[in-house]
Structure 1
């Protein structure tokens, strides 16, 4: 279990969203250019959370309604806080009341089908993972089939309003499906050690197939994992290198898939940063895409809503003073830096989402780490 906690902490929550952008685009060429494009992002207020707070993932319904989830009141890496949900109104984030669904722990992932149908999953200090649902008025805890050891990682909602949750149940990584009437656990992920597979992100395409990503144990090490569910499992070859994990996946088609994450490799001095992972699947093999970013991690990816890649968010070790993004320009990934702010000298992004109608939102925390000084942080490309 130590490996699982290490990978989850290192990569953070994965990016899962409402629905992936429309598919059927031609496979994109996996390459990048070392061009630093002009900044297009600006910070937006996210006040109201208790000290020791961070946002891990976000989903948008339109330019004036989005949700982000995470944790607040976390004193240290080993001291759990309380779940945090924040609502975007087009100009700023405000804290949402969770008193009817309170527990010790945090929320990892959020998805939505409508303003009155928002879902979040998280982990508690003790007991099984938690599912919360917002009905347009308040958040409430949702019961689902579980054991005391059930863990939940990520949630996504499809165009048919079905909800998909990744988790560990009865000793194996699985998908949990809500069809509008009942919950059902699907078959275990068919890997050699399903009890040591972490499915930390989930995405649903408009065609209905469900994609998951994370990490799995292979020959006493762990490698990046991507798999597809369309009535049966299809596990793609491992990717990312030794001691790596995939934190987000963007499936544009079955033969056009982008994945992002981090790889820690073997050896090196204590505190050595990971290397950013950016790979492309063409239906036959993974190809590592060149990227104009140094050691660090790529934590989330979002499409443009037209069947093409959009933005990747991440963190770069050598320049921690500003956020780091990769932007798809139609044929290559270009590095884009976020705004400089002396009040936020070390921001860290955990997730990015497309805003229907245009624009993007990203979320994270003001410092790379945990503790009372950490606060929620967010940026957007939406006009101010």
Structure 2
């Protein structure tokens, strides 16, 4: 999952940066500037070839999807934002894929519909959580049962708090981000890692001693999980063991940042992000946990930004992101027994930029979401589906369904 750029206060500017280096993901809203869905194509050749197909969840103009979670091939939830350029009009989006149609679901208890939802998680088909920022300057927390969603009040969170990632298992949900704190020594405000947890006993919000921001979180159970982010200059990883979160040793990567993490168990986890270099270029960063320590993995891409990571529980992973060398093509990294390799989407005759902000894997379907930016800087949400088969065998392009509000 989860997420999932620059930083909360200027979420729109952050979206321009695109690397979530402080927390975002692009969005869209009002006029239909949807990309033309290209024909399915073989994304990879050979006996394990994948078929790729582009579609859209049909958000309003200037819309983007930030995160996605799949419970099955016919039960997928995605969140994001519409009207990305209107700071006081942009609206959060929750949309559901039932295997044939995307349907938007409204949020009760909030007329403004927030500003942006950044992350989504599901403990079960009847318990879905999403987090982001609201127009009121407070962290935005949403809970749904699959048919209705409500904004949840969390008294432990305030205006100096920000949430960028969420993970959920039965009887426990964890949201991560940062809390602003004034540093008396340096006489300036700094960000400290923030972890908010809800169980049957209610909410707790703990500011860690770690300076920086957490963007992604994953749980393997109520007592085992990982959270990732950065200090502004290097990656940060924290581990949940029992009921306590503590920072762990991370490979020294100057300029590195992490945006998402996927966990397969006590001996297998993968975190992804990037590394800033001189000239503004970003190299992909993949860190792997083997049960004893985190190590850096080699990837076949010199420059790329990675935002999302998912896996199948069998040692295979998919990372979504953006390749500046091929900005018009959907970009993923896929790993297996032979290491990481690149998976690309269809090319376009029109100038455009495709960023895949998140990815999920259910059954034999890999589904990534994000946005396309055209030559006029108009945003369109995009859904990229990859699955084994021959070109032309993928599910038909979904048709829009009126939003349920």
> What's the TM-score bracket when you normalise by the shorter of the two chains?
0.7 to 0.9
Please tell me whether the aligned partners of residues 226 and 240 of structure 2 are also in contact (alpha carbons under 8 angstroms). yes
Q: Cα deviations across residues 321-347 of structure 1 (Å, max 9, x unaligned)?
A: 211111122241111112334468421
- Stretch deviating more after TM superposition (332-341 or 360-369): 360-369
Root mean square deviation, CA, Å? 2.9
* 1:200 pairs with 2:215: yes
Q: Cα deviations across residues 75-107 of structure 1 (Å, max 9, x unaligned)?
A: 17x676111111111124232223643344100
TM-score, structure 1 length as denominator? Answer: 0.80
**1:52 & 1:257 partners in 2: Cα distance?**
34
Unaligned runs of 5+ in 1: 16-34
TM-score, structure 2 length as denominator? Answer: 0.76
Aligned length: 345
Please, which of 348, 356, 359 is the counterpart of residue 352 of structure 1?
359
Please tell me whether the aligned partners of residues 294 and 317 of structure 1 are also in contact (alpha carbons under 8 angstroms). no
* 1:58 pairs with 2:68: yes
* 1:210 pairs with 2:210: no
Please tell me whether the aligned partners of residues 227 and 236 of structure 1 are also in contact (alpha carbons under 8 angstroms). yes
Please tell me whether the aligned partners of residues 7 and 24 of structure 2 are also in contact (alpha carbons under 8 angstroms). no
Please, which of 366, 371, 376 is the counterpart of residue 365 of structure 1?
371
More strand by share: 2
**1:294 & 1:370 partners in 2: Cα distance?**
28
Over 3 Å counting, the alpha-carbon distance change for 1:99 and 1:64 in structure 2 is same
Over 3 Å counting, the alpha-carbon distance change for 1:276 and 1:240 in structure 2 is farther
Residue equivalent to 2:381: 376
**1:305 & 1:299 partners in 2: Cα distance?**
20
**2:252 & 2:375 partners in 1: Cα distance?**
24
Over 3 Å counting, the alpha-carbon distance change for 1:189 and 1:125 in structure 2 is same
The 5 A counterparts of 1:180-259 are 180-186=200-206, 188-191=207-210, 193=211, 197-206=212-221, 208-217=223-232, 222-230=233-241, 231-239=243-251, 241-259=253-271
* 1:152 pairs with 2:163: yes
How much has 1:294 moved relative to structure 2?
3.2
Unaligned runs of 5+ in 2: 26-43, 182-191, 388-393, 396-405
Residue equivalent to 2:85: 75
How much has 1:285 moved relative to structure 2?
4.8
Please, which of 123, 127, 130 is the counterpart of residue 137 of structure 2?
127
